[in-house]
Chain A
Amino acid sequence: MLEQVHWIPLIPLLASLAILFGGKEGPHSKMPLLGVAAMGWCLLQSSWILFHALTGRYALPYYHTIPWFSYGDYVMTLGVLIDGPAVVMLFVVTLVSFLVQLYSLGYMHGDPRLKRYYAFLSFFTAAMLGLVVSSNLFVFFACWELVGVSSYLLIGFWFEKPGPAYASKKAFITTKLGDLGFFIGLMILYTQAGTLDLSMLAERAKLGIEYLPLEVATAVGICFLIGAAGKSAQVPLFIWLPDAMEGPTPVSALIHAATMVAAGIYLVARTYFIYDAAPLAMGAVAWVGLFTALLAATMAVVAYDIKRVLAFSTISQLGYMMLGLGVYGYTAGLFHLTTHAFFKALLFLGAGSVIHAVHTNDMREMGGLSKRMPATFLTMAIGTLAISGFPFLSGWYSKEAILHAVYLHNPMMWLVALGTAGLTTFYMFRLVYLTFLGQSRDHHRWDHAHESPPVMTVPLWTLAALSIGSGFLLEHEGLFAKLVSFESGHGGGHEAAHAPVWLGAAAVAVFAAGLAAAHRLYGRGDLSLAKSLRERFALAADALEARYYFDDFFLWLVSLSDRLAAAMHWFDDQIVDAIFVDGWALVTRAVAEAHRFFDDFVVDGAVDGVGAVTRDGGGVLHRLVRGQVQEYLMYVALAMCLFTIILTTR
């Protein structure tokens, strides 16, 4: 199965093409089933691989390439590089994709463009899987961009509405901005190392500093971090993600749980040897992660759109992962990536179920839904507990691991991270209270709410089970750490060191504090206390609701570039074209005028003069001619005589 791993991205790709070009479009199209089936096969294959990798039956990493194209003497390869993180990612991506596709059968039921939706969904997954397995950073980058464009297509799926149309463009451009950093990093790396093949690069990095000098590693690391910040929605490029909620909710689950946003984390993980060689870049990863985690968590506190709260929470959790990676907690960061994929997919799909039932995103119009949709409520509650770090659920294990690594690296950072964990608990329970508990605030919607069909709840329960159990299972006997670990050449070894015992207790205490605060503010189901608080801290709340004005900053950048473009166009039209070209033409014409003057009066004058002389001379001679043949004959005779005289007297 491992040797056939290249089929895991290829099958969804082929399925996507088949769905796009085959079958009939319409709400009753049968083509979606093909997408689900393809995903199911991929899930089976990657589960098989994961199982065998966990039990140690496969010798990892598995590496296989074929030549793609060559330029000069360099051969660019297409290939697979399957190591521990790749195996885990394969499983996570295929699982979440499969469940999302299954779920979409219910959620997208009746959409007139169902076929197209499934084609895009399969393509999206294919791109992400290609990114996961690729052995070459160039192919990685290619898939990375394809992930970007398929997210563009999916976020803008309901393109008739202006919101999605705008959001899709924003997502693409913002991530593209990050991609430029990635691109520059690739160029630096290639120029220095002469290859983009990951396994070769890793070997060269091991060989020592002459193959990967410190400044090059730092530059590449920072550049890749910019790319990762774009895809994984880190500060300051996170602005696209909240807007990306305009897409269909299953797409949000797919993008935010398993695929697109994980790509940035995965990039840092795959090129970890570069960061390992560049402490500065590593530090940047940690700080960016920390800031993102904190800022996003605070923003989530004031949001009322259920999907936006989850979006901010995603950003915050991604920040956590970055933080984990940045403090040399390689295993911890990827562990959190894995568990987060389960409970965040669960939360999004649960939110989708709620939206499907009440047809609004605004939590202020919900409340008391637990009675109408118990299954959704229960699974969402499990997801909330997991993300908040309730002991022995999956999120607890991974978050503990990260906090552990952070504490050993820098206790101040640990403090901030701990506070963020408390905020996470607070806003997640706020979401649960506002949505499911208390009294209904909109009876009309409440009356129409109903539990979702099994095709939607089955994925929820599956994910709920994983959210509960995956942490324990993977932590058990250090299974995950065996599969996913990194032998650091520098400041590693933190993970082995022991931290104080009270670390875990502090995390639980913070969890309790967050829960208590949420209960105090929203537990009664009315918003009066929250509103009065909001008024008291209006300035801070405004800043939070405006997302710390990052959006405004980027909008300002856009308008600036627009103005720059207009200025350039003006310059082109009025200066380059008008002065240098048309002006040149004017000068030429002026010179031509001068020439014409000269022509008319001097050159032409001379010509005309000759003409006039000839004409006047002709007038004189004209009189000699009277049409008399004999006169002419006489002239001839006289001329003859003249010639004869001249000839004979010479």
Chain B
Amino acid sequence: MGILSVVIFSPLIAAIALLFLPKEKTSWIRGVGVAGTAVSCIASVFAFLAFDPGTTQMTSLSIQLTEKLVWIPTFNIHYYLGVDGLSLPLVILTTFLCLLAAIYSCGIELRVKEFFFWYLILEVGMVGVFCALDLFLFYMFWEITLVPMYFLIGVWGGPKKEYAAIKFFLFTLFGSVFMLLGILAVYFASEPNSFDMIELMRYSGTWSREFQIIVFLGFYLGFAIKVPAFPFHTWLPLAHVEAPTPVSVILAAVLLKMGTYGLLRVSYGILPLGFEWFLPAFVLIAFINIVYGALCAMAQTDMKKMVAYSSINHMGYCMLGIAAVSATGFNGAMLQMINHGIITGALFMFVGVIYDRAHTRDIGAFGGLGAKLPVYAALMSLACFASLGLPGLSGFVSEFLCFLGAFKAWKLYTILSVSGLLVTAAFFLRMLQKVFLGPFNEKWAGLRDMNARELISVVPLCVLMVLFGVWPSFLIDIMNPTMTVFAGMFPGLFQGLR
């Protein structure tokens, strides 16, 4: 039993334990739920301590903390876990945000037991996706995330929750069906048939370009829907708006990263020829995500929807970094994944805080709250500034690296994408102005500032924003060796970009 199994399955154990608790004992249930995520988080910290990032001079990926057991020998399926600099930061991000969102979830009153059960199962799936190195296992965990999310949105969501839940479910299921086809294709194309991701990376040289392109498209559908890349993004604003706050946090902070993680690990790692073929379209999509997402966000009057569209914009930066196919761009994309998780997670919590009190998220309905809720205003402004890429906060370095990497490969698109930065600044500042500045709207005289539970779940994120912004080495040093090796893995390909 390795440390990664502990990380993955401690929430599962907690979920099973929950089933034996009577549903009236809500405080017990909350305790067990939070404890399950906490154990997972602590275990992931141990995994981090045991992890050695390696150096940029490595010749191959250093997969560590591996666990490999034969699972279904007939089909050569293994229970194969392991992390490298690509997945470990995401694992820690997941467990950490799950813990914070679980603390935030203690404010949920409806069907507490079911909520935490599904929530914990969701965490199992998400962590599993990042740890799995066997495509079959990967797919299994990938699908595990789907059902809990469906229920979490569909039961605890807002007014249009059923519609949002079914839309989310169908969208992602549609994608994962094609992904399954892709998985089967690479399985049967390998000799001997294998689901082992690390093993499969070596086949890329032997598979023909046409095969890789077709399989790439299958995988791409699955991942692009999760990212979400234009034009598969429309489930996201709806799901975000309807989902309860902690679920929105998880959705934005972790679930979207499964898409970009898959793009890097599978689409790029296993099918480089297909990736190379698709790259011109990919960078165009990244550009559309950035500018289009930002403009759509600017048109919103609902705070949560605005943040949701800004997610599309920020994942666009991430895709731009990936499209660079260089150590700079990959590092930027990875940093952006983590930072977006932290920042947008915090932003959703902040929106949730105001919604819990005022029961509206309409930007125009507020005004002058800065004087009434100083702590809330200060922290939310911090998160907004981090999101618009202010130096000293975490978004800055990652956006800069994404752009810097992409510029070398795609000059025009990158220059055009820069305008997204301006629009992002514009809509965040406009929101800050309308909500916090100006004359105080007396209608909200009864609002209270943030309470302890909310502060506990948000302040760590704000601290991380500052920490990663001032000293990004904390993060980059873990991932840089892996990213450098990863970017140089196919020396013969991507010639035009270097």
Interface residues of A (CB under 8 A from B): 68-74, 138, 141-143, 145-146, 149, 152, 156, 159-162, 164-166, 168-169, 172-173, 176-177, 180, 183-184, 186-188, 190-191, 561-562, 564-566, 568-569, 572, 576-577, 580-581, 585
Contact = CB atoms under 8 A, between A and B. Distances in A.
A169 B430 CA distance: 7
Given A72-B480, A141-B391, A191-B407, A561 B472 contact: no
A72 B487 contact: yes
User: Size range of the interface on B?
Assistant: 35 or more
A176 B438 contact: no
Contacts of A188: 407
Given A184-B415, A572-B234, A585-B170, 5 more contacts: A69-B473, A70-B473, A160-B438, A160-B439, A176-B421
B403 interface: yes
A172 B437 CA distance: 15
15 contacts: A72-B56, A72-B326, A72-B331, A146-B390, A160-B439, A161-B439, A165-B438, A169-B430, A172-B429, A173-B426, A180-B421, A183-B403, A187-B403, A565-B297, A568-B295
Interface in B379-422: 385, 390-392, 396-397, 400-401, 403-404, 407-408, 414-415, 418-419, 421-422
Interface in B256-283: none
Contact of B414 (A70, A176, A187): A187
Contact of A565 (B299, B397, B415, B471): B299
A173 B422 contact: yes
Given A145-B391, A162-B439, A71 B234 contact: no
A177 B404 contact: no
Contacts of A152: 429
A159 B438 contact: yes
Nearest to A146: B391
A521 B476 CA distance: 65
B178 interface: no
B4 interface: no
Contacts of B415: 184, 187
A585 B404 CA distance: 40
Interface in B283-312: 292, 295-300
Contacts of A165: 433, 437-438
Given A69-B472, A159-B436, A187-B403, A74 B234 contact: no
B234 A576 contact: yes
Contacts of A143: 391
Contacts of B440: 160
Interface in B439-498: 439-440, 471-473, 476-477, 480, 483-484, 487
Contacts of B432: 169
A71 B296 contact: no
B397 A69 contact: yes
Given A183-B418, A569-B300, A71 B401 contact: yes
Contacts of A168: 433, 437
A183 B414 CA distance: 11
A568 B415 CA distance: 20
Nearest to B488: A72
A576 B234 CA distance: 7
Nearest to A192: B408
B295 A177 contact: no
B192 interface: no
B11 interface: no
A176 B427 CA distance: 13
B218 interface: no
A585 B326 CA distance: 39
Contact of A191 (B56, B396, B408): B408
A212 B471 CA distance: 31
A505 B172 CA distance: 79
Contacts of A565: 295-299, 423
B327 A149 contact: no
B263 to A, nearest CB: 19
A579 to B, nearest CB: 10
Contacts of B167: 581
B22 to A, nearest CB: 41
A569 B429 contact: no
Nearest to A173: B426
A284 B421 CA distance: 26
Nearest to B425: A176
Contacts of A191: 404, 407-408
B480 A568 contact: no
A164 B439 CA distance: 11
A191 B324 CA distance: 13
Interface in B316-370: 326-328, 331-332, 368, 370
A507 to B, nearest CB: 41
B404 A190 contact: yes
Contact of B298 (A72, A146, A172, A561): A561
Contacts of A160: 368, 370-371, 437-440
B328 A71 contact: yes
A321 B186 CA distance: 65
Contacts of B401: 71
B73 interface: no
Interface centre among A166, A172, A176 (most CB of B within 10 A): A176
Interface centre among A72, A156, A576 (most CB of B within 10 A): A72
Contact of A71 (B231, B327, B436): B327
A12 to B, nearest CB: 14
Contacts of B295: 561, 564-565, 568-569
A70 B421 contact: no
A202 to B, nearest CB: 21
Nearest to B439: A160
A142 B403 contact: no
A268 B315 CA distance: 34
A459 B369 CA distance: 36
Contacts of A564: 295
Contacts of A166: 433
B425 A172 contact: yes
Nearest to B470: A68
Contacts of B327: 71-73
Contact of A173 (B171, B400, B404, B425): B425
Contacts of B233: 576
* Top 9 closest pairs, chain A to chain B, by CB: A72-B327, A142-B391, A569-B299, A165-B437, A565-B298, A565-B299, A187-B407, A577-B234, A71-B331
Nearest to B480: A71
A186 B404 CA distance: 9
A184 B296 contact: no
Contacts of A149: 385, 390
B396 A68 contact: no
Nearest to A183: B418
A168 B167 CA distance: 41
A183 B404 CA distance: 9
A55 B432 CA distance: 50
A70 B487 CA distance: 15
A638 B300 CA distance: 86
A74 B385 CA distance: 27
Contacts of A173: 422, 425-426, 429
Interface string B37-59: 00000000000000000001000
